[in-house]
A = this chain, B = another copy of it.
Amino acid sequence: MRYYKETELDIEKAAEFLELPPSRLSEIIEKGNLRQNWDEYSNIYRFEGHAPQIENGTALIDHYGSFELVRGFPKIKRAMLLDPALKGNFSQIKSVVVEEKMNGYNVRVVDYRGKLIAFTRSGHVCPYSTERVQNFLKRDFFQDHPDIIVYGEMAGPDNPYVQKNIYDIDSLDFFVFDMRYKDTGEPLEVCQRRELGEEYGFNQVRLFGEFSINEASAKITGIIRELGEKGHEGVVIKDPKMVLQPIKYTCSQSNCSDLEQAFRFYNEAGRDYLFSRVVREGFQSYEWSEDEEEFQKRCKRLGESILLPMKGTIAQVATGERLSDDFCIRVRDENVIHKFKAYMERFGLYVVLGTPERIGEDYVVEVRKINKSTTDKTMAMLEGQLWS
């Protein structure tokens, strides 16, 4: 039981709960694919990387020998060409439900020892999201339905992870888009989930309607064009019964706005992040049979979304300024500000806090996430170093 002491996890019992041989679980731990969270959450473990049959980011809660699993949200695959994707994936059903895919960050909420906690996609418990969620969701749902995990998007201003002011809301809010049973991971049907959400007064992602497979492609294209103009992200297309896997489809404008955010810090911009967004543009442009004018607009939008933020960054560093990602957080409990800072620092981020300001019941504080990599690289280029 070499790992018992290290992780304080009872390997035998945990393995039994996970239906894995104990030797397999030991191996998973040894490889670093099951990691312990810290402080008040040190009896919560998260799956990172590959473990068989277990979604990445799944959290294992150790209730002193009995266990609970909070499954990671399954990755939703993407349609590149909408029409064939709809026909290929939903040929067995008559109609699909279309809901908005919001541009924020994905959290899972469960009741944990009498309070709600919010897991990020990776299975960490984010102290800021956790504090926020207390104010957004009533606990009675979780008392009435302890077997259900609520999945939602944290979107809006005062967002530490995705800064987009594209929704007409004052501050960060939580929009439910899925509910699943803890033990099986099975999702609730769309209708049932929306009714339940309504009953408990949850915000939910926008429902565009249910469309027959034949009309869906035209309807969704229309929706995407409208959402694009508003700067919204896109849609998720679902089997009403949630038996077939949902698929996502997004707007060009949102794609480009992602690139615009990423290329302010060009030196950290993921190569795959860039590539995948660029490829989406090519497929959409083809499927929409764009005329020369529309196509030129798309080309310009794409080019500009990369070059404009880069130029801004170089100009900023040239004046001697350091780059930072600046945002506000809004909390009710002032202690959460420092907890959140410590949480960011755990991930190796360097964060500078402003002075908290009282607004109504809340404290609002400016956070500057200092960016070293792109600042240093840009400075090096300005000083005459060569690229490589």
Q: Any chain B CB within 8 A of the CB of A223?
A: no
CB neighbours of A285 from chain B (8 A) = 307, 310-311
Give per-residue flags for A376-388: 1 if the beta carbon is below 8 A from chain B beta carbons, else 0.
0000011111111
* The stretch of A46-54, A97-105, A182-190, A276-284 that contacts the partner chain: A276-284
> Which residues of A from 70 to 119 have beta carbons under 8 Å from B?
77-81, 84-89
Looking across the interface, which residue of chain B has its beta carbon closest to that of A312? B286
**With A279-B310, A282-B311, A303-B302 known to touch, is A78 a contact of B384 (CB < 8 Å)?**
no
How many copies, total?
2
Q: Which of A120-128, A168-176, A292-300 contacts B (4 or more CB under 8 A)?
A: A292-300
Which residues of A (225-282) have their CB < 8 Å from a CB of B?
247, 263, 266, 269, 271-272, 274-276, 278-279, 281-282
User: Residue A12 at the B interface, CB < 8 A?
Assistant: no
Q: Are B275 and A80 in contact (CB under 8 A)?
A: no
Any B CB within 8 A of the CB of A304: yes
Q: A84-B381, A303-B303 are in contact. Are A310 and B298 (CB under 8 A)?
A: no
Q: Are A384 and B87 in contact (CB under 8 A)?
A: yes
Collect the chain B residues with CB atoms within 8 Å of residue A44's CB.
Answer: none
Q: Give chain B nearest CB distance to A246 CB in angstroms.
A: 11
A179 at the interface (CB under 8 A from B): no
Contact A80 B303, beta carbon cutoff 8 Å: no
A218 adjacent to chain B (CB < 8 Å):
no
Q: Count chain A residues whose beta carbon lies closer than 8 angstroms to a beta carbon of B.
A: 51
Q: Contacts A271-B272, A386-B79, A387-B77 given; indicate if A282 touches B266 (C-beta within 8 A).
A: yes
Chain B residue nearest in CB terms to A278? B306
CB contact under 8 A between A247 and B386, given known A304-B299, A307-B302, A381-B80 = yes
A299, B310: Cβ atoms closer than 8 Å = no
A303 vs chain B, min Cβ distance (A): 3
Q: Which chain B positions have C-beta within 8 A of A85?
A: 384-386
Give Cα distance in the complex from A263 to B281, angstroms. Answer: 12
For A274, list chain B residues within 8 Å (CB): 271, 274-275, 278
- Cα A269 to Cα B274 with chains together (Å): 12
Q: Are B84 and A282 in contact, with the CB atoms below 8 A?
A: no
Taken together as a complex, chains A and B put the C-alpha atoms of A112 and B373 apart, in Å, by 48
Residues of B within 8 A of A282 (CB): 263, 266, 306-307, 310-311, 314
A193 within 8 A of B: no
Query: In the assembly, what is the distance between CA of A1 and CA of B49, in Å?
Result: 43
The verdict on A353 contacting chain B, using a C-beta distance below 8 Å, is no
Question: In whole angstroms, what is the CA distance A295 to B247 when docked?
Answer: 37
Closest chain B residue to A82, Cβ basis: B384
Other A-B contacts than A80-B381, A296-B304, 18 sampled, CB-CB below 8 A, are A78-B387, A78-B388, A84-B384, A86-B384, A88-B384, A263-B282, A269-B275, A271-B275, A274-B275, A276-B387, A278-B307, A295-B311, A298-B307, A299-B302, A299-B303, A300-B303, A302-B306, A302-B307
Q: List 9 A-B contacts (CB under 8 A).
A: A77-B388, A78-B386, A81-B382, A84-B383, A85-B385, A281-B306, A282-B310, A299-B300, A299-B308
